């Protein structure tokens, strides 16, 4: 059953075709990787679906309902959440408070001004459980700013996950961390996502990671879909190999500046 | 020695009032990044409203403990009224300007300052308005050979309770977590589905409540007069410059420093009392531009 369907989705920035006529079906419960050289439109596609950009044309169906014109908040409420390429955390809050905040927001527990933050045992229990799932239980009371990069990446995903989305966009969850940490982060994320039956779309550069963890791979190039299929199908697709290998060299160098721009 | 103790108590009294004003200013800046130039005038308006309510209800002849209790209960009305004024100002005057550069914030709050000052002149006239009957009927306690008004000590206690209460509110409540999150990253807070608009109204109203409370507690000791708001604004700015704009601890420490220096100044160097305060503020700006407790 399809959870998300985009039909002829377009987003242009002047002459740049960031998202160019993308028609894509994401099925419930699958982990889809979105790959492609820099500037292929992966992040733009996530931004359009999560309402950070407005689509120029086309339709976004979520659970069969047209959400193309819905606001960010409305789409979060509907069940679309995302993490960011640049880690977005509340640096001056503890890891626990970061997660608790997402839970307050989801539960609509934002009205009562005198309610004690840590006396709500349901929220406290859930926030601790989420931290535990992401291996961050020991960092509960540390400020987000003091966490290591890999931990920040996980906390970022934990925040999006605490909104209990149906569909989770993860924009480069392993960027900026060592190769050794990548596997651990992806193991954790894939474990949680599969365990809870959440549909996930992961933007990723590292093809080892992509081939290891994906159910399906979508290759984008210049805003459009170049190919889609299982890891085995993509691995043997020569056109994809040319595009990705051709871009692999400069890609490795531009990745840093890409992050700086966010 | 007696004089020394009384001077310390006096400076604690000023510190309590200054803290209430500066904490509100700092809270509003911390959450909304708006420097509210009308903050001092809101403090003055709080003083006028409280004095007017208490004066109208019990007059100047208060009868017994019941009259005093009643007057003390009426006193915070000024703070509540100012909070309500704040809840009106934020969505109507400030909200349309958040996306504009800072100059617009300064212009609109400066305009608000002028309107409020004239409104007070119109409403209350040039005659000072006092709730002195409260202070009188609370009597004095002996300090050494001298008598010290009991009410001043009550104000110090209120300042202390307000500081603890605000700290508890910001660091221990659910709303405090939301408030701190919104102040750190408005876009991200909205991305989580938080209602940023509502947080802003609440934060602004609380900040205004603090200013109004400052006015309410000062008016039994000092009559509300025209111009008190601007004077308070200037001192509150010195407080937040020293302590760090947006920091609660900074407002507390800054208020203590400013009132100690002021009290000592009035005693020992009255000619340059304000100049010394500005010098301290300048020194802090040069050495630590974000203030003692401020973050860049």
Q: Which two tokens stand for residue B76?
A: 């915070």
Q: Which two tokens stand for residue A162?
A: 């605490």
The whole-angstrom separation of Cα A168 and Cα A50 is 10
Q: What is the pLDDT of residues B35-52, one digit of tens each?
A: 999 999 999 999 999 999
In which element (H, E) is residue A1 found? none
What is the interface size between A and B, counted as CB pairs within 8 Å? 77
Share of chain B above pLDDT 70, in %: 97
Looking at residue A113, its pLDDT comes to: 58
Looking at residue B217, its pLDDT comes to: 96
A126 in reach of chain B (CB within 8 A): no
Contacting residues of B for A76, CB less than 8 Å apart = 191-193
Enumerate long-range contacts of B115-121, CB under 8 Å, 24 or more apart. B116/B38, B116/B41, B116/B42, B116/B44, B116/B45, B116/B229, B117/B41, B117/B44, B117/B226, B117/B229, B117/B230, B119/B45, B120/B41, B120/B44, B120/B45, B120/B48, B120/B226, B120/B229, B121/B226
Residue A248 backbone zone (phi > 0: left; psi -120 to 50: alpha; other: beta) = alpha
Structural domain count of chain B: 1
The whole-angstrom separation of Cα B233 and Cα B43 is 9
Residue B66 located in a structural domain: yes
Contact A101 B173 (CB under 8 A): no
Residue A48 located in a structural domain: yes
Contacting residues of A for B209, CB less than 8 Å apart = none
Decide if A90 contacts A144 (C-beta within 8 A). yes
Q: Going by C-beta distance under 8 Å and a sequence separation of 6 or more, which residues neighbour residue A248?
A: none
Q: Residue A68's domain spans which residues? A: 2-89+164-238+250-261
Decide if B23 contacts B239 (C-beta within 8 A). no
Q: What is the pLDDT of residues B221-264, one digit of tens each?
A: 999 999 999 999 999 999 999 999 889 999 999 999 999 999 99
Looking at residue B119, its pLDDT comes to: 95
Looking at residue A243, its pLDDT comes to: 77
Decide if A192 contacts A160 (C-beta within 8 A). no
Residue A143 backbone zone (phi > 0: left; psi -120 to 50: alpha; other: beta) = beta
The whole-angstrom separation of Cα B39 and Cα B28 is 10
Which residue numbers in chain A have pLDDT < 70? 85-87, 109-120, 245-262
Q: Torsions phi, psi of B172, nearest 5?
A: -120, -15
Contacting residues of B for A113, CB less than 8 Å apart = 169, 173, 175, 202
* Choice between B121 and B295, residue whose per-residue pLDDT is larger: B121
A80 in reach of chain B (CB within 8 A): no
Contacting residues of A for B175, CB less than 8 Å apart = 110, 112-115
In this structure, what CATH number is given to the domain that contains residue A225?
3.40.50.300
Contact B181 A109 (CB under 8 A): no
Contact A116 B198 (CB under 8 A): no
Contacting residues of A for B193, CB less than 8 Å apart = 72-73, 76-77, 105-106, 163
The whole-angstrom separation of Cα A104 and Cα A123 is 8
The whole-angstrom separation of Cα B256 and Cα B60 is 33
Contact B193 A93 (CB under 8 A): no
Residue A99 located in a structural domain: no
Contact B180 A93 (CB under 8 A): yes
Contact A113 B185 (CB under 8 A): no
Longest Cα–Cα distance of chain B, Å, equals 63
Q: Which two tokens stand for residue A74?
A: 């409305």
Minimum distance, in Å, between the CA of residue A204 and any CA atom of chain B: 22
A88 to chain B: nearest residue by CA?
B188
Residue appearing with tokens 């640096």: A91
Residue A22 located in a structural domain: yes
Contacting residues of A for B194, CB less than 8 Å apart = 101, 104-105, 110
Q: Which of A113, A118, A124, A160 to mutate to test the interface with B (most CBs of B within 10 A)?
A: A113
Residue A140 located in a structural domain: no
Work out the angle between the directed axes of helices B196-218 and B2-32 (0-180°, nearest 10).
160
Contact A72 B190 (CB under 8 A): yes
Residue B4: pLDDT band (50, 70, 90) is confident
Decide if B250 contacts B240 (C-beta within 8 A). yes
Q: Going by C-beta distance under 8 Å and a sequence separation of 6 or more, which residues neighbour residue A75?
A: A50, A51, A62, A67
The whole-angstrom separation of Cα B90 and Cα B100 is 15
Over its C-alpha atoms, chain A yields an Rg (Å, rounded) of: 18
B193 to chain A: nearest residue by CA?
A73
Is pLDDT above 70 for B150? yes
The whole-angstrom separation of Cα A7 and Cα B141 is 80
Q: Given A92, A101, A163, which is nearest B178 (Cβ)?
A: A101
Q: Given A102, A112, A113, which is nearest B192 (Cβ)?
A: A102
Q: What is the pLDDT of residues B162-196, one digit of tens each?
A: 999 999 999 888 888 899 999 988 888 887 878 88
Contact A163 B198 (CB under 8 A): no
Q: Residue B160's domain spans which residues? A: 10-226
Query: Residue B128, Cβ neighbours under 10 Å: how many?
Result: 16
Looking at residue B108, its pLDDT comes to: 95
Q: What is the pLDDT of residues B78-128, one digit of tens each?
A: 999 999 999 999 999 999 998 889 899 999 999 999 999 999 999 998 889
Contact A109 B195 (CB under 8 A): no
Structural domain count of chain A: 1
Residue B29 located in a structural domain: yes
Write out the DSSP string of A149-173: HHHHHHHHHHHHHHT--SEEEEE-T
């Amino acid at each position: 059953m399809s959870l998300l369907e985009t039909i002829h989705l377009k987003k242009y920035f002047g002459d740049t075709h960031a998202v160019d006529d993308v028609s894509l079906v994401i099925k419930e419960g699958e982990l889809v990787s979105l790959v492609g050289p820099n500037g292929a439109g992966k992040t733009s596609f996530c931004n359009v679906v999560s309402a950070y950009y407005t689509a120029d044309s086309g339709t976004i169906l979520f659970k069969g309902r047209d959400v193309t014109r819905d606001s960010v908040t409305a789409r979060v409420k509907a069940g679309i959440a995302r993490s960011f390429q640049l880690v977005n955390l509340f640096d001056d809050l503890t890891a626990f408070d970061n997660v608790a905040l997402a839970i307050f927001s989801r539960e609509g527990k934002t009205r009562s001004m005198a309610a004690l933050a840590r006396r709500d045992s349901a929220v406290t229990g859930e926030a601790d459980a989420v931290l535990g799932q992401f291996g961050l239980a020991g960092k509960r009371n540390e400020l987000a700013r003091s966490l290591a990069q890999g931990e920040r990446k996980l906390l970022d995903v934990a925040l999006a996950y605490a909104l209990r989305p149906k569909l989770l966009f993860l924009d480069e969850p392993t960027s900026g961390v060592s190769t050794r940490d990548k596997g651990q982060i992806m193991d954790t994320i894939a474990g949680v996502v599969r365990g809870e039956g959440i549909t996930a779309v992961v933007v990723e550069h590292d093809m080892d990671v992509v081939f290891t963890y994906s159910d399906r791979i979508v290759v984008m190039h210049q805003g459009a879909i170049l190919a889609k299929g299982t890891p085995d199908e993509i691995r043997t697709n020569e056109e994809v190999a040319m595009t990705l290998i051709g871009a692999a060299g400069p890609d490795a160098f531009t990745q840093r500046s890409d992050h700086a721009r966010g | 020695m007696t004089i020394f103790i009384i001077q310390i108590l006096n400076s604690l009294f000023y510190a309590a009032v200054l803290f209430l004003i500066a904490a509100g200013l700092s809270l509003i800046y911390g959450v909304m990044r708006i420097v509210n130039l009308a903050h001092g005038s809101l403090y003055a308006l709080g003083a006028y409203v409280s004095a007017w309510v208490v004066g109208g209800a019990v007059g100047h002849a208060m009868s017994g403990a019941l009259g005093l209790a009643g007057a003390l209960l009426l006193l915070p009305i000024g703070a509540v009224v100012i909070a309500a004024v704040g809840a009106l100002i934020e969505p109507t005057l400030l909200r349309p300007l958040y996306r504009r550069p800072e100059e617009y914030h300064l212009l609109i709050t400066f305009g608000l300052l002028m309107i409020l000052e004239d409104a007070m002149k119109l409403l209350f006239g040039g005659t000072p308005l006092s709730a002195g009957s409260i202070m009188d009927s609370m009597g004095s306690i002996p300090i050494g050979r001298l008598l010290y008004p009991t009410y001043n000590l009550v104000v110090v206690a209120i300042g202390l309770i307000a500081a603890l209460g605000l700290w508890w509110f910001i660091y221990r409540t659910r709303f405090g977590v939301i408030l701190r999150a919104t102040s750190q990253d408005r876009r991200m807070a909205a991305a989580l589905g938080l209602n940023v608009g509502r947080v802003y109204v609440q934060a602004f109203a609380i900040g205004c409540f603090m200013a109004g409370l400052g006015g309410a507690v000062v008016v039994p000791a000092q009559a509300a007069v025209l111009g008190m708001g601007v004077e308070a604004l200037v001192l509150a700015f010195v407080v937040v410059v020293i302590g760090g704009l947006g920091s609660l601890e900074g407002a507390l420490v800054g208020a203590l420093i400013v009132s100690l220096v002021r009290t000592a100044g009035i005693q020992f160097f009255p000619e340059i009392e304000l100049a010394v305060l500005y010098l301290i503020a300048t020194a802090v700006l040069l050495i630590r531009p974000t203030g003692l407790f401020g973050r860049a």
